[in-house]
Chain A
Amino acid sequence: MASVTTHDHAHDHGHDHDHHGPGPWTRIFTTTNHKDIGSMYLWFSLLMFFVGGAMALLIRAELFTPGLQVVQPEVFNSLTTVHALVMIFGAVMPAFVGFANWLIPLQIGAADMAFPRMNNWSFWLMIPATVLLMASFFVPGGAAASGWTLYPPLSTQGGIGVDMTIIAIHILGASSIMGSINIITTILNMRAPGMTLMRMPMFVWTWLITAYLIIAVMPVLAGCITMLLTDRHFGTAFFNAAGGGDPTMFMHIFWFFGHPEVYILILPAFGIMSQIIPTFSRKPLFGYASMVYATASIAILSFIVWGHHMFTVGMPAAGQLFFMYATMLIAVPTGVKIFNWIATMWRGSITFETPMLFAIGFLCMFTLGGFSGLVLSIVPVDITLHNTYYVVAHFHYVLFPGAIWALMAGVYFWLPKWTGRMYNETLGKWHFWLSAISFNVTFFPQHFLGLAGMPRRIPDYALQFAEWNMISTIGAFALGFSQLLFVYNVFSCIRSGEKAKERQWDSADSLEWTHLPSPVPYHTFEMPPDLRGAKAVH
């Protein structure tokens, strides 16, 4: 196990002072402290997680039995659309940015982010955007009902709710671009002496690569939905077939953004995994350099596989073959990562605290989701499975136990450092097992439904699908309510958790564990730690 020599934080203790100035309300509007902003991002995304979750439960309630009971079809379509947008842009992305804010400066030995004021901005931009998105439910015509992919012609029709959604996505995109610029600049310029690129913790690496992905594809999404807006209001015909436009072109442009986007949602999760698994296996991460290269190759390959979302849309056979093989190729670096994590655990002295349980859950369930992705990448198979519940099962396997569990694991892992207090381990384990069981009850049957031909995004279904849908809905409600344990655990940890040790996890070895007390003081590393000559810290 690599160990770090210097343990000099008398300095940091001394600086726990000048944040008691403005009142708490002024402070949340004006703060430029990366820890404040990190916490604000995390609280915001937790709230949005439950907003999106409530919509998901409405969807599942409607699908509990065949026929229409709970919502009208138009509202149902709006719910699937906004559920996805809220979860992607309101919950998962901001949560990872929250982690980045909290951890990147601590892990590279910087005092704060590179552009603290822009950091404050990028957080507050999300508020009007979310308000717009949610308010679109209450305008004439209702919220966008085209699915989160906003395909025309559904999105070129529709009322003002669609415009509100487009503007909201624009603002959220701007916010995440600003966040990414901040992250890249911080990582490139503000590392402590001795913290070379190839010594950075994996979380920092994955975010560096993710931030480049965001900067590269968010402008493409912005351009794409701007064309949609001009088609709707200014008489252009980019996608409007009646004016000579082509809706298929929308799909190409959208998925050029969309596939890198799914990796934006998962790469930081890989980073969190690469820190938790070695800690609880009490072994250094296996194949650090190959992890870095695998992450980079996944990011690069993600630009040339978008066609796998469009196999049924109409494409020359050569195109289908290209996208099929390119998609399968991504599974190679992804496999490298999975095998490295398993090799890290191999013969380690593993203990199963809550973060590790979630990490192992991630490993199993994410791999399953990767496999169903591979199934879908086979053109003739996708032609029968496209737009069925099989696809819904696939992306929930990679996103819930993938992105969300990584976030939960990360929260349990770093809470002692952030708050100086321990969460309740028993409750954490209950949270994990209830989530693991109910997640599979909810989503595993959706593979069967998809294989049997049940289409996605439809509020009603044929009778032969009734049993599995009922089981799936029961699982969904259990899954949703299990997450309340998490909220309770976080709150009670902050209020009255036991005091945490400075190095709560004895073999966690990034700077925040080796150089800083728990809780971390408000100001840290105002003088960068000197890591030259120290051994690598991952």
Chain B
Amino acid sequence: MSVVADDVDVVTPAEVRENNRTTLKKLLLILPVMLAFCLSLVPLYRQICEVLGITATRAVAENTQVDRSRIVKVDFDASLHGGFAWKFVPVDKRVEIHPGEMVTIHYRVTNALPYATTGRAVPSFAPVEAGLFFSKIECFCFSNQTLQAGESREMPVTFFIDPKLPAKIGSIGLSYYFFDVTEEMKKAPKDPA
């Protein structure tokens, strides 16, 4: 580029100040527009996920028809981490249910210690694949459980099994493992949930 160009006029300082103010106003306008754009991404994102049928991030629990042609055995198991001094047992040890049928079973947990403690349960499935078809509506594993000294509590688990459960799986084991999180709770008093 080495063309000789002369199209910038000489402007007075007052004109420059005036121009600057106009430019400032225009530029300031961009800020709320972009902020509004940012906030509009929230509904937009939901809409796009809806339209494209992306629901993986929002699990939708649906109880379709009950498949009466099949019976699945579900065994319940309970264990405690390390030397965690709670008592933790399944009240219902086994159920036999139809896929699609909603069931509630109970566990019992007792704090045998002379002071309050907090535990958190982590579930696991056998076979692992069964977890994909096991829909829990209510479960104590979602949040920390604090028990006072000597307190005992019955905790329900409400669930159903997806009728799409592969035919080769005839029985499922659901096991909970309770961890002592009392110390962690003291360190980070805010429960994120």
A285–chain B nearest beta-carbon distance, Å: 9
Chain B CB within 8 A of A21 CB: no
A64 to B186, CA, bound (A): 33
The interface residues of chain A lying within 8 Å CB-to-CB of B35 are: 219-220, 222-223
Q: Mark A476-500, 1 if CB is under 8 A from B, else 0.
A: 0000000000000000000000000
Other-chain contact of A238, B1, B7, B42, B57 (Cβ < 8 Å): B42
Other-chain contact of A536, B2, B34, B42 (Cβ < 8 Å): B2
Chain B interface residue count, CB cutoff 8 Å, equals 37
- Please provide the chain B residues from 146 to 193 with a CB less than 8 Å away from any CB of chain A in the complex: 188, 190, 192-193
Q: Is B24 a contact of A199 with CB atoms below 8 Å? A: no
Q: Mark B4-24, 1 if CB is under 8 A from A, else 0.
A: 111111100000100110011
With contacts A181-B24, A185-B23, A189-B23 taken as known, whether A242 is within 8 angstroms of B45 at the C-beta atoms is no
List 17 A–B pairs whose Cβ atoms lie within 8 Å, in order of A's numbering: A2-B2, A114-B24, A153-B192, A184-B23, A190-B16, A192-B8, A196-B8, A219-B30, A222-B35, A223-B35, A223-B39, A248-B57, A249-B42, A288-B1, A314-B56, A536-B4, A538-B1
> Sorted from nearest, which 7 A-B pairs have the closest CB atoms?
A223-B38, A219-B34, A219-B35, A220-B38, A189-B19, A532-B6, A196-B5
- Please provide the chain B residues from 28 to 69 with a CB less than 8 Å away from any CB of chain A in the complex: 28, 30-32, 34-35, 37-39, 41-42, 45, 52, 54, 56-58
Q: Is A316 a contact of B8 with CB atoms below 8 Å? A: no
B134–chain A nearest beta-carbon distance, Å: 19
B51–chain A nearest beta-carbon distance, Å: 11
Chain B CB within 8 A of A191 CB: yes
Other-chain contact of B38, A159, A224, A535 (Cβ < 8 Å): A224
Give the residue name and chain of the A residue nearest to B142 (CB).
A242
Q: Is B1 a contact of A199 with CB atoms below 8 Å? A: yes
B40–chain A nearest beta-carbon distance, Å: 10
Interface residues of B (CB under 8 A from A): 1-10, 16, 19-20, 23-24, 27-28, 30-32, 34-35, 37-39, 41-42, 45, 52, 54, 56-58, 188, 190, 192-193
A201–chain B nearest beta-carbon distance, Å: 11
Interface residues of A (CB under 8 A from B): 2, 114-115, 141, 153, 156-157, 159, 177, 181, 184-185, 188-196, 198-199, 215-220, 222-224, 227, 238, 241-242, 244, 246, 248-249, 252-253, 256, 284, 288-289, 314, 316, 528, 530, 532-536, 538
A114 to B42, CA, bound (A): 36
Q: Is A177 a contact of B31 with CB atoms below 8 Å? A: yes
Q: Is A219 a contact of B1 with CB atoms below 8 Å? A: no
With contacts A246-B57, A252-B41, A256-B41 taken as known, whether A191 is within 8 angstroms of B24 at the C-beta atoms is no
A115 to B21, CA, bound (A): 9
A224 to B41, CA, bound (A): 10
Q: Is B193 a contact of A242 with CB atoms below 8 Å? A: yes
Give the residue name and chain of the A residue nearest to B38 (CB).
A223
Q: Is A193 a contact of B1 with CB atoms below 8 Å? A: no
Other-chain contact of A244, B8, B24, B27, B58 (Cβ < 8 Å): B58
A177 to B10, CA, bound (A): 29
A174–chain B nearest beta-carbon distance, Å: 10
Q: Is B16 a contact of A189 with CB atoms below 8 Å? A: yes
Q: Is B1 a contact of A198 with CB atoms below 8 Å? A: yes
Q: Is B27 a contact of A184 with CB atoms below 8 Å? A: yes
Q: Is A246 a contact of B45 with CB atoms below 8 Å? A: yes
Give the residue name and chain of the B residue nearest to A242 (CB).
B193
The interface residues of chain A lying within 8 Å CB-to-CB of B9 are: 193
The interface residues of chain B lying within 8 Å CB-to-CB of A530 are: 10
Q: Is A217 a contact of B1 with CB atoms below 8 Å? A: no
With contacts A185-B27, A216-B30, A222-B35 taken as known, whether A194 is within 8 angstroms of B6 at the C-beta atoms is yes
